[in-house]
Amino acid sequence: MNNSIKKNMRSDLDIIFGWIKPNSRLLDLGCGDGTLLQRLRDEKQTSGYGLEISTKHINTCVQKQLNVIHQDIGQGLDNFSDNSFDTVVMTQALQAMEEPHKVLLEMLRIGKEGIVTFPNFGHWKARLHLLINGRMPVSDLLPYEWYDTPNIHFCTFTDFEILCHKLGIDIIHREVVSQTGSWLKDFRPNLFGDTALYHLSKK
């Protein structure tokens, strides 16, 4: 199971990697251990910063000689000026934001483009879990109980795209990955894809 998650994570990063142009200036919101930033720096000569709140992750990023800044993205991003980055990336954190719609707008204020990834709450397993058990879904991708989860704003792909439309955000690319690598995700992404990746820009 661990292996398949790892493989899957790698494919997330592969897709993001493909969307980012060489020599871009990046801001990675919640950069974790800096895997993405490091790869982009080394292979696409990107520059920029990662924001992180875990000192353990900050230390790992410093070991990799990445620029990492201790900052809680939930507390706002108003210290970054308009259009100061080519791309602002946020992986697997949108659902943990108190005001996801405002974060999206902030990302596209600071960056010319934005990339977000989030777990799909419309996945068939989540739907089935709620339907059969009558309880909030708990799975390996979403392993938390409803009362102690950092993930407070779930959405499905469809919900997300409606929001983008409302906010005047253009979807440049959309990709869906599935842990099981199912071909079905291409057929019915909102039902069979477990993670969504969106490449966004302002209209």
Partner 1 sequence: MPSVFGQQSVGVVTPQTYHFDEPLFLACGRTLPKYDLVVETYGKLNAKKTNGVLICHALSGNHHAAGYHDEKDKKPGWWDNYIGPGKPIDTDRFFVVSLNNIGGCHGSTGPTTINADTGKPWGKDFPKLRVRDWVNTQARLADTLGIQQWAAIVGGSLGGMQAMRWALEYPDRVRHCIVIASALKLTAQNIAFNETARQAITADPNFFSGNYQVNDSYPKDGLSVARMIGHITYLSDDGMGKKFGREIRSGSFQQGIDEPVEFQIESYLRHQGNAFSSSFDANTYILMTKALDYFDLAREYGDDPASAFAAAQCKFLVVSFTTDWRFSPDRSKEIVNALVAANKPVSYAEIESNFGHDAFLIPIEDYYQIFDSYMKGISIDE
Of these, 80, 118, 157, 160, which contacts partner 1 (CB under 8 A)?
80
Q: Provide the minimum distance between the beta carbon of 90 and partner 1 in the complex, in angstroms, as a whole number.
A: 17
* Minimum CB–partner distance for residue 74 and partner 1 (Å): 15
Please say whether the beta carbons of 163 and 104 come within 8 A.
Answer: yes
Q: Select 64 or 127, whichever has its Cβ closest to partner 1.
A: 64
Q: Which of 16, 26, 40, 68 binds partner 1 (CB under 8 A)?
A: 68
User: Taking CB under 8 A as the rule, does residue 59 contact partner 1?
Assistant: yes
Q: Which helix (H) or strand (E) holds 129?
A: helix 124-133
Nearest to 93 by CA among 32, 176, 178: 32
Q: Count Cβ atoms within 10 A of the Cβ of residue 3 and give its class: 0-12 exposed, 13-18 middle, 19 or more buried.
A: exposed
Binder among 45, 63, 83, 133 for partner 1 (CB under 8 A) = 63
Taking CB under 8 A as the binding criterion, the range among 8-16, 35-43, 55-63, 122-130 that sits at the site for partner 1 is 55-63
Site stretch for partner 1 (CB under 8 A), options 69-77, 90-98, 145-153, 184-192: 69-77
Burial class of residue 193 (count of CB atoms within 10 Å of its CB; 0-12, 13-18, 19+): buried
- Print the binding letters for residues 1-30 with partner 1: x by CB under 8 A, - otherwise: ------------------------x-----
Inter-CA distances, 154 with 71, 129, 192, Å: 23, 15, 16
By three-state DSSP, how is residue 168 classified?
A: coil
- Measure CA 92 to chain center: 4
In the complex with partner 1, the residue whose CB is nearer, 82 or 145, is 82
For residues 45 and 59, which CB has a smaller minimum distance to partner 1 in the complex?
Answer: 59
Calculated CA dihedral for residues 121, 127, 128, 133, nearest 10 degrees: 90
Q: What is the DSSP letter of 56?
A: H
Of 37-45, 61-69, 96-104, 161-169, the window that binds partner 1 (rule: CB under 8 A) is: 61-69
- Which residue, 85 or 192, has its beta carbon nearer to partner 1? 85
Return residues touching partner 1 (CB under 8 A).
25, 47, 49, 55, 58-59, 61-63, 65-71, 79-81, 84
